Amino acid sequence: MADPVVVVALLLVAGSATLAVAVRDPVRQALVLSVLGVVLAVLFTVLQAPDVGLSQLAVGSAVTPLLLLLTVRKVRRRGQRKGRER
Amino acid sequence: MNGWLLAAAVTLGGGLTATLWGVTTGPLGRRVVAQNLATAVACPGLLLLSQAYERPAYVDLALVLAVLGPVGTLVFARLLSDELTGHPPRAWWPTWTAAALGTAVVLALCAVTAPGRATVKLLVTGALLVGGNVVAGRALTGGIRGVRGG
Amino acid sequence: MTRRSTRLAVAEVLAWWVALGGLWLAFINAVDTLELAVGAGAAGVAALAARAARRAVTGP
Amino acid sequence: MNRRFRLWLVAVGSAGLAALLVAACLELPDFGGAWHPYGDRAVRASLDRHTANTVASVNFDQRAFDTLGEMTILFAAVLGCVVLLRQTRDEHRARPEPADVEPPVRRYALIVLPVALLTGLYVIAHGQLSPGGGFQGGVVAATALHLLYLGADYRALERIRPVGLYEVGDAAAACAYLVLGLAGVLAGTAFLANTLLPYGTFNTLSSGGTVPLLNAAIGMEVACAVVVLLARFLDQAVEIEEESRA
């Protein structure tokens, strides 16, 4: 592991993945997750796997946050309705 | 270890560490700005990596990130607009600093590549990145309002 | 649809087609006939999408 | 099975797994070493078939059957979502109110939408030459359409996105992949064997035999699948509401 860029990328992935687990609120978790996606894409590029990095970028930057936030919104709306009926 | 690789390591290490710190601490407004910053830092970093490894094909990653990164921020701007309208984030200096970084990296890379298609591709990537980040920053600071149903 | 609006629509799609075709030329790294044909097709699809999106937002 | 027993079971299982993983890691070749028995063979096979991007050659030529499996997984997952997230009898649709989007954001969405779509098509078409391929490009192209929701209005997105058409496109692209595979059988070789077309000139769009065609099929399948998937999620989050149980 002579390459400092690889070390930097690995440390960033370890840090952001741990933080993504440590943050508890789903909305804030989605924010950390999207940063984790970018960091992972950098790691894959540094390890000379640009195809995997591109997959990660394509899925992680917009589609995953959109799916997560739409789900959160649906669950919250249902919660609000239930609260009103009670 | 060449200079480009060192520049990439510094950009990615410093920039993404700052982003990570911003996105996990503080109020929601600060976190979304930090998320927008991730694209603005990683895209120049990927361009520098492509130059460091002397693989022009890696520019495609930066291009896709420049296109989709701001779209990801727009997702947050739109679906969190209720939470953000109360306390709109006021952090223009990180956005402009990141835009300056992107511009500087793109211009430096244009200076060392032979003029031609590759230069145009770099410029397009830079324009998409900087424009996208500024617009996404604007969308975060109250550019999208009144999202109730839609 | 009057002739004027038809002409405007064709002009809009053509303008997008030329711009996006130029973008395709910037993306690729070797030009040959097949590349140009595929680029023209892709730029055409994207140009039609651009017009459809503009119409969906601001009306015809 | 009480709590304590379960914890013990997890602890024993995890310890065994950890021991096996550590043992396997000790036997791994060094990080960044020069010995790549599989890689060397894959690169040789890919160069034999004039495919510049070895990953594309592995995905769509040497391991094309695995890609068929992955495509089927995505297809089944989207099908499951469509069934699960349909509008049930006790739900109704509410008209979403249009959001108030500032003109610069809307202009950005309208300009970047075609550019992102073109980028997606470029990534699909150059899968055998540069990083990328059907999956990546398909997701980019599908994301591009949703800029209309993010930068403008849900109604605008609905106007340019007939979901039924995308469902048909999804199925048609999956069939195209199968037909390309069966064509190999009819030509007298094997399912998904890359012997149908000439391999072409190295590093041009027509190189790689059937790789670009399979790439295009996967690109269309993924793009349509993501559009359908997001359409179901958007439906649920934006339009469909439960009836209040009065």
C24 part of contact set with chain D, CB < 8 Å: yes
Cβ pair B57:D131 closer than 8 A:
yes
Q: CA of D184, closest CA in chain A: separation in Å? A: 27
Q: CA of C23, closest CA in chain B: separation in Å? A: 8
Q: CA of A44, closest CA in chain B: separation in Å? A: 11
Q: What is the pLDDT of residue B147?
A: 63
Where do the H-state alpha helices sit in D85-204? 103-125, 134-145, 147-151, 154-160, 163-186
| Chain D residues with CB-CB distance to B81 below 8 A | 99
| Mean predicted confidence (pLDDT) in D162-174 | 94
Q: CA of B37, closest CA in chain A: separation in Å? A: 9
> How far lies C46's CA from each of B67, B121, C17, in Å?
15, 18, 8
Q: What is the pLDDT of residue C1?
A: 63
Cβ pair A61:B69 closer than 8 A:
yes
Residue of B nearest to D104 (CA): B135
> How many domains does one find in chain B?
1
Residue A68: pLDDT band (50, 70, 90) is: very high
Structural domain includes residue B150: no
| Mean predicted confidence (pLDDT) in C19-45 | 93
Residues D16-68: tens digit of each pLDDT: 999 999 999 998 888 778 888 888 999 999 999 999 999 999 999 999 999 99
Helix H or strand E segment including B129: helix B117-138
Structural domain includes residue B81: yes
Q: Indicate the residue of B60, B138, B143 with minimum beta-carbon distance to D131.
A: B60
Structural domain includes residue B149: no
Neighbors of chain A by Cβ distance (3+ pairs < 8 Å) = B, D
Cβ pair C26:B124 closer than 8 A:
yes
Q: CA of B6, closest CA in chain A: separation in Å? A: 8
Q: What is the pTM of this model?
A: 0.92
What mean pLDDT is reported for chain D? 90
Phi then psi for residue B69, to 5 deg, are: -55, -55
D121 part of contact set with chain C, CB < 8 Å: yes
Q: Indicate the residue of A8, A30, A50 with minimum beta-carbon distance to B13.
A: A8
The interface predicted TM-score (ipTM) is 0.94
Where do the H-state alpha helices sit in D88-146? 103-125, 134-145
Q: What is the pLDDT of residue D246?
A: 42
Q: What is the pLDDT of residue D206?
A: 86
Inform me whether the pLDDT recorded for B71 exceeds 70: yes
CA separation for the pair D56, D124 (Å, rounded): 11
| Chain A residues with CB-CB distance to D144 below 8 A | none
Inform me whether the pLDDT recorded for A85 exceeds 70: no
Residue B20: which domain range? 3-143
Structural domain includes residue B148: no
Cβ pair C45:D152 closer than 8 A:
no
Q: What is the pLDDT of residue D102?
A: 86
CA separation for the pair A73, B79 (Å, rounded): 8
By CB atoms closer than 10 A (0-12, 13-18, 19+), residue B36 is buried
How many A/D residue pairs have CB atoms within 8 Å?
59
